Amino acid sequence: MAKFENYTALISSWLKPQITAWFEEQVKDVSKRFYLYYKPSTADAHGELRVSDSAPGLDWQLASAEHLNISWSIQEASARTRAWCTRLPILKP
């Protein structure tokens, strides 16, 4: 159980600034679609997460085909994106 709790806390700490920035950008332009992207981990480093309206680079992949919905609160967006992260290869082995 402790390992899962640590994983959740780590992912939440990565997502918090991304979700906050998304919310601020989304209210400025409700027509934009934002997605969660990830960069896979390597043997030496954890991966990364980014919320963006386009892929941050060639080595980034979509975490989900579902976009973050303008109707979501910050809390709902955090919960949904955190759930998407459970299957991503973003923690170093």
Distance separating alpha carbons of residues 87 and 83, to the nearest angstrom: 8
Distance separating alpha carbons of residues 51 and 28, to the nearest angstrom: 15
State pTM to two decimals. 0.90
Instruction: Give 8-47 pLDDT, tens digit per residue.
Output: 889 999 999 999 999 999 999 999 999 999 999 999 999 9
pLDDT score, position 2: 47
Q: Give 25-42 as a DSSP string.
A: HHHH-TT--BEEEEE---
Q: Are the beta carbons of 35 and 67 closer than 8 angstroms?
A: yes
- % of the chain at pLDDT higher than 70: 95
| Amino acid occupying residue 86 | T
Domain extent listing, the chain: 13-25+33-85
